[in-house]
Amino acid sequence: MNPLLQFSRRFLYRHPGQLALALVGIAAGVAVVTGVALLRDVLVQSLDLAADAITGQDSLRIEHPAGSLSESIYVDLATRAGSPDLIPVLRARARHGNENLEILAIDPLAPRTGPMGLSGPATAPLMGTTDGVIMSQGTLDRLKVDTETPLRVRAAGRSASLQVVAVLADRPGLDQRLIMDLANAQELLDRQGELSWIEAPAEARDWLARNLPDELRLVSADQRRDSAARLTAGMRSNLTAMSLLAFAVGLFVVHAVLAFLLVQRRRQIGMLRAIGVTPGQLRAVLAGEALVLTGFGALLGLALGTVLADALLDLVRSPVAEVYGMVTAGTVRPSASLYLAIWLMAVVLGLASVTGILRSAMRIAPGELSRDSQLGGTLSDRQIILIATALAVIGSVTLFIGQDLPFALAGLFLWLCVAALLAPSAGMALLAGWQRLRHRHLTGRAVGMLRQSRTRLAPALAALSLALGLSAGMAMMVLGFRTAVDDWVERLLRADAYLTVSAGQIDDELVGAVQSWPEVISVSSARQRELPDGNRLVAFDLPAPAWAGFEWLAGNPDTARDAFLAGQGLLITEPLARRKQLDIGAILDFMTPQGEQQLPVVAVYRDYGSDRGVIAIDGSLYRQLFGDERRDSLGLYLGDPSAPLQERLDALPVDATLTTREQVRAQTLAIFDRTFRISWALALLVGLIALVALVSALLALGLERGRDYATLRALGLTRAGLLAWVITQTTALAAAAAILAIPISLGIHTTLSLVIQPRAFGWTVPLTVPLTPWLAMLPMALAAGALAGLYPAWAITRQDPAPLLRSR
Amino acid sequence: MRLDLVLFGLAVAALVAWLSWQTRTVEPEIGTIGLAEVLGDAPEHFRRVTGPEPLSFPNDHGSHPDYRSEWWYFTGNFETGAGQRLGFQFTLFRFALNQPQSARSDWSADALWMAHLALSDGRSQRFFQSERFARGALGLAGATPSRWWLRDWVVTATEQGWQLNAEAGEFALDLDMVQTRPLVFQGDAGYSRKGPEPGNASRYYSATRLETRGRIRIDDQWLDVEGLAWLDREWGSNQLSDTLAGWDWFALHLDDGRDLMVYRLRNHEGEASPWSAGALVDSDGGSRTLRYADFSAQPLDWWRDPEGHRWPLAWRISVPGADLDLTTRPVFEDQLWRRSVRYWEGMIDVIDSATGAVIGRGYTELSGYAE
C-alpha cells in the first residue's frame, strides 16, 4: 500500500472517537436534509400518486369548474367512438379513529388493467358486497385492522361500517386510501349521480381535446402537482429552511473534526515534508481523507434520513389532512436522482468546508514539528465586519424585496450568516467580560484559555449560537402564534354550544326544531363547500351576537354587515385577500350550479383556519345559488349556558352531538399543536447536531492545548481539577452561545411572524414576545454544555502530561 | 487486501444496496382469470340449461340475464386485395354477479362485461389484442336483440347480418358481415351438453359462414378486406364440470363449401372428454351434429411460449364419416392472449393430410394450458 495512504489510515485508526464524530456530524446533517427532502416530495406528490396508481403516470383529469360533475357526462364520453379508458372517480374524506383517510370510489371495471392490477372479475369482491373496500397492506397495518372485522369510519358526517375485501401490495398512491365501488360509495356518501372527476390516460389528450364539452376542463399531472405544491408551499419552505440549517450545522462539525485531525498530524506532516513529500501529494491524501469521510458519512446520512423521513411523515400526516385536506402516503418514495443529488451536494460542500484547512496544511514548513500553532480561518476582525455588513445589507434588501416567500427565506438565511460570522467575536467578547470579572478565580482563567483558541472555537460557537437561536426563535414564533390563534378562536366562538350530526343531516326542518327550543335565544349555522379553485366557501347564517366574533382587518363593519345580509357582498379572510391581492370593492367570481356569480368584497377578517383562504357568503344567498339546504353545524346561543339539553337532543330525528365552546377551542389548539410538532422535532435535531459540533471542537481544543493542560497539571492541578477546568470551559461556551442566541432568536421570531408567515400562509400574526423559550433555553444550554464537556475532559485528563511538556 | 478495507467496502456496498432497494418501484401484477373457474360453479339461483328448448329470434340474440355466463363470439379470416392475410376475433362476454348490486345508485350492476378484440396480421406476424371491461349499468355494456356493445365497441344487427365497429388504438375494425346460411343449432337443437351433471350444458348456436367485407386499420393504414367470419353464441350457468381443465376448439371454412366445428373438452390428464362434440355444415346449409365417436383431434406440434407454457398449435382432425382427414397449422405461432385471461386464439390453415394441399381456413381456440 502507498506509504502516504498507510499514514492516513493508521492515523484514523488511532483516533476512532474523532472518526466517529466526523461521521456522525456529516451523517446527521445529511439525514435531516434527506428526511425533509423526501417529506417535501410526499407533500407534493400525494394527490398525484393515487392517480398514478389508478390510471398510470401523467394521467389527465377531467374536472367541472363547479367541483363535481354529473355521471351522465362520463357515460356520454365513455361510449363515444374512439373513447380512451376513462375512470370515473368520487372522492371523499373519511376518518378511522385518529387516522385521516380518503375514500376513492371508482368503477373498478373502467381501467384497462383493473385498479392497481386487480383485473375484471377479480374485482368482483368490491362489487359483490355493499360495503367492500380495498386497501394496501401498509394501510391495513397502520390502521391495525384486519379483513375479518368491520372497519368503522366516519365519512360525510356519519359513521359507517366497511368490510376489507381485498388487500393490495403496497404502492405509495394507495396509502391511507380506501378504494370502493362507485355504486356503494354513492349510497354511503349520499351523492347519487355525482362524480368528483374523471381520470384519463396521458395519451388521451388529443381525443379529449376534440370531444370534451366546453364546460369541462382538462387538468394535467403537472398542473395537479403545481397546485399541490402551491397548497403546501408554506409548510415545505419552512421544512426546507430548517433542513438546510441542520446541514450547515453538520458542515461545522465536519470542518471542526477535519481541522482537529490535521492539528494532530502537524508534526507528522512536517516530517513528511522534510523527507520529500510534495505539497501536491499531501493535498491529495488529505483531500482523499475528506472525500472518504464525507462520502461515507453522506451515505450513512441518506440511509438515516430515509428512516427519519418516515418518522417525520408520521408527524405531518394529521396536520396535512386537517389543514390541507390531503391524505399523504404512508411511506416516502425515494428516487435514485434525489439520493445522488443530496450525496453530491454533501460531498462538494463537505470538501469546500475544509479547503481552508487544506490550504493551511500546505503551509506547514518541511521539518516543522510544533503542533500548537493555529490552523484554519484566516479572516481578520475587520474583514469579518466588512463581510457581515455586506451580507446584512443584501439580506435586508432581499427580505423586503417583492412579496415572495423564497426572497424572505433567502433574506433570513443571509441574516443567519451574519449572525454566524459575528457570533464568534461576540462570544469571545462575552467570555472576555467574564474573564475580567473573575480573573483571579480558576473559572476566569479557564475561560481566558478559551479566548486564545478563538479560531478553533469559532465554528462551534457559531453553530451552537445559531442552533440555540433557531430553536428558541421557532419556539417563540410558535408560542406567539398559538396565543394569536387562541385569541382568535376565543373571539370567534360566540355561541354557547355547537351542534353537529353523525347520522342524518341538518336541514331547514332541523334548524327550525332547534330554534323552537325555549332555552335557545338564537341559532347560527355554517356550511362549507370547496370551490374548484381550491378556495373554501362558507355560508353563514349569523345572528347579531355572532358578528362580534369577527376581527375586521379592512372594510367598515356596519356597512359590510348590511351588504352581506342583503346578499350583496362577500366577506373574505386575510389569506385570500393577500394571495389574490383583493381589496374592498374588488369583484370576486365564483362558480355555482347556476353559472358564474360575481359579488364585491365588503370586508376582510382575520382567520387562521385555512391558508388557502375562505370566502364567506350569506346563508340564504348560498342556498338559493347552490340549492343546498344542508348545514354542517349549528351554533346555539342560550339564555342559560348551563341549561341541560340532552333530552332535547335525544328527541331529534338525527344523531346529534353538542360540543361546548371550550371543547371546540381545545380541539382547535390540539390541531395547532399537532401542526407544529414537526417544527419542534427539526429544531431538536438541529440542536443535537450543534452539540456534536461543540464536542468535536472541544476535543480539538483539548489536543491543541495539550501542552497548556500539561503545564496546569505540572503546576499542581489535579485530574479532578482539570476535569472541572474543562467542564467550566464547555459550560462557559454554551452560556455564551445561549446569550448570543437571545438576540438571534428574537430576530428569527420577528422575521418568521412578520415576514415569513404572511408570505407563506397569508396571515399576519400580532407580535408578542413569549419569554418561556429563553427561560427554558438557558438552563438547557448550560446542562448540555456541561454534558458535552465530559468526554473531552476525560480525554484530556487521561493524557500523560510529561511527554507533552517535553514535546518541544 | 486488508480486512478493514474489505469491511469498509462491504459497508459501502450494503448501504448502496439498501438505498437502491428503497428506490425500487412496485409494478402492479395483473391478475389472471381461469375461464374454467368462471364457467364452473354458479350459485343456485341462476337458471341451468337442462334440456332442449325452442329458441326464438331475434330475441335470443340478446342477453339472457337469468344465466350465469354468456358470449357473442366472432372470428374470421380475410385477405386484402394485395393478398395480405388478416384474422380477427371479437368477443363480448357477460358474467352475472352472484348477487346484483343493491345500492341506491345508477352504477348498481347485475353483471360484468368483458370484450376481447384481436387482429392477426399474417404478413408482419403481429398479433394485436385489446381487452375491456364494463359493468352492466348506465348503458355502458349490454346486448339487445339488435345491438351488442361494450362502450364504443358495437355490433349492430343489419338486415342480412351484423356490422362490427371497434377501435382499439393501434388497430380498428369496420366490418359488414352477411349471413349466408341458416343458424346451426349445436348439440340437440341448441342444447349442448358438456358434462354428466344436469346443468353441465349450454345453449349454443352458430352462424358459421358470414361473408364479410370491410376495412381494417393497422396503425395509420386502412386496408380493404374480404373473407369469411363465424359467429358462436352460447350461454349457460354451470356448463363445465370440475373434471375439465380446458378445451380445444376449431371452426373451419373448407374450400369445398363445408363448415366444420369441433371442440375437444379436456380433463386434467390432458385426455379428451366423451362430451366433446362438433357439427358439420354442408354447402347447402344442412348440418349434422358430431359426437365424440364421430371425430378425432390429435395434437401434432407444440409451441412453447416465452413463459414456458406449451401449446399444441398443429392438429390432425379426422371425421371418417365425412371423409375428412385434415391437418391444421397456425398462420403464425404467437397469437396468444396475454391479458386477464391467457389463451391461444388464432387464424389457421386447413390442409388435406393426404395431399398436403391447403383446402381451407379457420380459427383455433386453445384454453387451459397456462394455468
What are the tens digits of pLDDT across the range B79-89? 999 999 999 99
User: What pLDDT is stored for residue A372 in this prediction?
Assistant: 47
User: What pLDDT is stored for residue A1 in this prediction?
Assistant: 56
Handedness of CA A315, A318, A324, A329 (dihedral sign): positive
Cell numbers representing residue A376 in the block: 484554519
Is residue A31 domain-resident? yes
Is residue B246 domain-resident? yes
**Better-predicted residue by pLDDT, A56 or A335:** A335
Write the DSSP symbol of residue B26: -
Which band of pLDDT confidence, cut at 50, 70 and 90, is reported for residue A55? low
Are the C-beta atoms of residues A728 and A443 closer than 8 Å to each other?
yes
Nearest-Cα residue of chain B relative to residue A119: B31
Is residue B4 domain-resident? no
Please answer yes or no on whether B31 and A339 come within 8 Å at the CB atom: no
Q: What percent of chain A has pLDDT over 70?
A: 89
Please answer yes or no on whether A121 and B112 come within 8 Å at the CB atom: yes
The pTM of this model reads 0.69
User: Looking at residue B179, which CATH number applies to its domain?
Assistant: 2.40.370.10
Which band of pLDDT confidence, cut at 50, 70 and 90, is reported for residue A289? confident
Cell numbers representing residue A101 in the block: 383517510
Please answer yes or no on whether B30 and A116 come within 8 Å at the CB atom: no
CA angle centred on B149, ends B146 and B151, rounded to 5°: 145
Q: Give contacts of A119 with chain B, Cβ < 8 Å.
A: 30-33, 133, 339-340
Please answer yes or no on whether A339 and B19 come within 8 Å at the CB atom: yes
Residue B29, pLDDT > 60, answer: no
Cell numbers representing residue A340 in the block: 445522488
Nearest-Cα residue of chain B relative to residue A203: B169
Half-sphere exposure of B292 (CA within 13 A, CB side): 13
Task: Determine phi and psi for A714, rounding to 5 degrees.
Answer: -65, -30
Half-sphere exposure of B152 (CA within 13 A, CB side): 19
User: What pLDDT is stored for residue A668 in this prediction?
Assistant: 82
Mean pLDDT of chain A: 82
Please answer yes or no on whether B31 and A118 come within 8 Å at the CB atom: yes
End-to-end CA gap in chain A: 32
Do A196 and A101 have their domain in common?
A: yes
Do A240 and A363 have their domain in common?
A: yes
**Ramachandran bin of B25, using left for φ above 0, alpha for ψ from -120 to 50, beta for the remaining angles:** beta
**Which residue, A369, A400, A425, sits at the end of a domain?**
A369
- Which member of B12, B109, B167 has the closest CB to residue A299? B12
Nearest-Cα residue of chain A relative to residue B135: A109
User: What pLDDT is stored for residue A112 in this prediction?
Assistant: 61
Number of domains in chain B: 1
Is residue B19 domain-resident? no
Please answer yes or no on whether B167 and A81 come within 8 Å at the CB atom: yes
Q: Give contacts of A85 with chain B, Cβ < 8 Å.
A: 132
Is residue A796 domain-resident? no
Within its chain, how far is the Cα of B369 from the centroid? 14
Domain that holds residue A556: 505-653
**Better-predicted residue by pLDDT, A492 or B248:** B248
User: What pLDDT is stored for residue A117 in this prediction?
Assistant: 46
Please answer yes or no on whether A71 and B107 come within 8 Å at the CB atom: yes
Is residue A732 domain-resident? no
CA angle centred on B156, ends B151 and B161, rounded to 5°: 150
State yes or no: cis peptide before B196, omega within 30 of 0: no
Mean pLDDT of chain B: 91
Residue with C-alpha cell 515534508? A273
Write the DSSP symbol of residue A755: I
Which band of pLDDT confidence, cut at 50, 70 and 90, is reported for residue A116? very low
Which band of pLDDT confidence, cut at 50, 70 and 90, is reported for residue A330? low
User: What pLDDT is stored for residue A323 in this prediction?
Assistant: 65
Write the DSSP symbol of residue A506: B
**Which residue, A164, A184, A219, sits at the end of a domain?**
A219
User: What pLDDT is stored for residue B39 in this prediction?
Assistant: 55
Select the residue from B26, B92, B152 to test the A interface by mutation, using most A Cβ atoms within 10 A: B26
Is residue B2 domain-resident? no
The CA distance from A631 to B163, in Å, is: 54
The alpha-carbon gap from B233 to the nearest alpha carbon of chain A, in Å, equals 21
Cell numbers representing residue A681 in the block: 422535532
Please answer yes or no on whether A121 and B165 come within 8 Å at the CB atom: no
The DSSP result for A15-84, as a single string, is -HHHHHHHHHHHHHHHHHHHHHHHHHHHHHHHHHHHHHHHH-TT-EEEE-TTS-EEHHHHHHHHTSTT--
| Nearest CA among A240, A199, A195, A218 for reference residue A48 | A199
Do A518 and A609 have their domain in common?
A: yes
The verdict on B82 touching A (C-beta cutoff 8 Å) is no
Handedness of CA A492, A495, A500, A504 (dihedral sign): negative
Is residue A303 domain-resident? yes
Burial class (CB in 10 A: 0-12, 13-18, 19+), B102: exposed
**Better-predicted residue by pLDDT, A40 or A436:** A436
The alpha-carbon gap from B224 to the nearest alpha carbon of chain A, in Å, equals 20
End-to-end CA gap in chain B: 52
Burial class (CB in 10 A: 0-12, 13-18, 19+), A616: buried
Please answer yes or no on whether B22 and A334 come within 8 Å at the CB atom: yes
Do A585 and A618 have their domain in common?
A: yes
Please answer yes or no on whether A118 and B112 come within 8 Å at the CB atom: no
Do A277 and A166 have their domain in common?
A: no
Cell numbers representing residue B144 in the block: 339487445
Is residue A168 domain-resident? yes
Q: Give contacts of B339 with chain A, Cβ < 8 Å.
A: 119
- Give me the mean pLDDT over the B27-34 stretch: 50
Residue A126, pLDDT > 80, answer: no
Which band of pLDDT confidence, cut at 50, 70 and 90, is reported for residue A740? very high
Is residue A328 domain-resident? yes
The alpha-carbon gap from B42 to the nearest alpha carbon of chain A, in Å, equals 14
- Which member of B19, B135, B151 has the closest CB to residue A79? B151
| pLDDT digits 0-9 by tens, A292-319 | 888 999 999 999 999 988 888 878 777 7
Are the C-beta atoms of residues A467 and A692 closer than 8 Å to each other?
no
Do A190 and A288 have their domain in common?
A: no
| Nearest CA among B260, B307, B256 for reference residue B279 | B260
Neighbours of A52 (CB within 10 A): 17
| pLDDT digits 0-9 by tens, A127-180 | 778 888 888 888 888 888 888 888 888 887 778 889 888 777 766 677 788 889
The DSSP result for A574-633, as a single string, is HHHHHHTT--TT-EEEEEETTEEEEEEEEEEE---S-SS-EEEEEHHHHHHHH----BSE
The verdict on B220 touching A (C-beta cutoff 8 Å) is no
The verdict on B32 touching A (C-beta cutoff 8 Å) is yes
**Strands annotated E in A182-244:** 194-195, 197-200, 217-219
Which band of pLDDT confidence, cut at 50, 70 and 90, is reported for residue A123? low
Structural element, H or E, at residue B213 = strand B201-218
Please answer yes or no on whether A296 and B12 come within 8 Å at the CB atom: yes
Please answer yes or no on whether B151 and A335 come within 8 Å at the CB atom: no
Do A644 and A520 have their domain in common?
A: yes
Cell numbers representing residue A491 in the block: 373571539
Structural element, H or E, at residue B324 = strand B324-330
Do A49 and A90 have their domain in common?
A: no
Burial class (CB in 10 A: 0-12, 13-18, 19+), A213: exposed
User: What pLDDT is stored for residue A120 in this prediction?
Assistant: 44
The alpha-carbon gap from A305 to the nearest alpha carbon of chain B, in Å, equals 11
The CA distance from B155 to B229, in Å, is: 14
Do A139 and A46 have their domain in common?
A: no
User: What pLDDT is stored for residue A461 in this prediction?
Assistant: 83
Helix (H) and strand (E) counts for chain A? 29, 21
Is residue B180 domain-resident? yes
The DSSP result for A240-264, as a single string, is HHHHHHHHHHHHHHHHHHHHHHHHH
Write the DSSP symbol of residue A191: -
User: What pLDDT is stored for residue B224 in this prediction?
Assistant: 97
Are the C-beta atoms of residues A94 and A103 closer than 8 Å to each other?
yes
Is residue A515 domain-resident? yes
**Which residue, A603, A637, A653, sits at the end of a domain?**
A653
| pLDDT digits 0-9 by tens, A648-690 | 888 888 778 888 888 888 888 887 887 778 878 887 887 777 7
Number of domains in chain A: 3
Neighbours of A401 (CB within 10 A): 12
Domain that holds residue B105: 30-367
Do A243 and A178 have their domain in common?
A: no
Nearest-Cα residue of chain B relative to residue A297: B12
Is residue A711 domain-resident? no
Is residue B299 domain-resident? yes
Handedness of CA A647, A651, A655, A657 (dihedral sign): negative
User: What pLDDT is stored for residue B161 in this prediction?
Assistant: 95
Are the C-beta atoms of residues B363 and B329 closer than 8 Å to each other?
no
SS3 assignment, position B259:
strand
Do A213 and A262 have their domain in common?
A: no
Q: Which residues, at least 6 apart from B2, have a Cβ–Cβ distance to it below 8 Å?
A: A1
Residue A247, pLDDT > 90, answer: no
Which band of pLDDT confidence, cut at 50, 70 and 90, is reported for residue A231? low
- Give me the mean pLDDT over the A637-650 stretch: 84
Residues 252-271 (B) with a CB less than 8 A from some CB of A: none
The CA distance from A795 to A491, in Å, is: 59
Half-sphere exposure of B268 (CA within 13 A, CB side): 5
| pLDDT digits 0-9 by tens, A495-553 | 888 888 766 678 888 899 999 989 899 999 988 887 766 678 899 998 888 888 889 99
Please answer yes or no on whether B139 and A79 come within 8 Å at the CB atom: yes
Write the DSSP symbol of residue A345: H
Please answer yes or no on whether A119 and B102 come within 8 Å at the CB atom: no
Q: Give contacts of B137 with chain A, Cβ < 8 Å.
A: 183
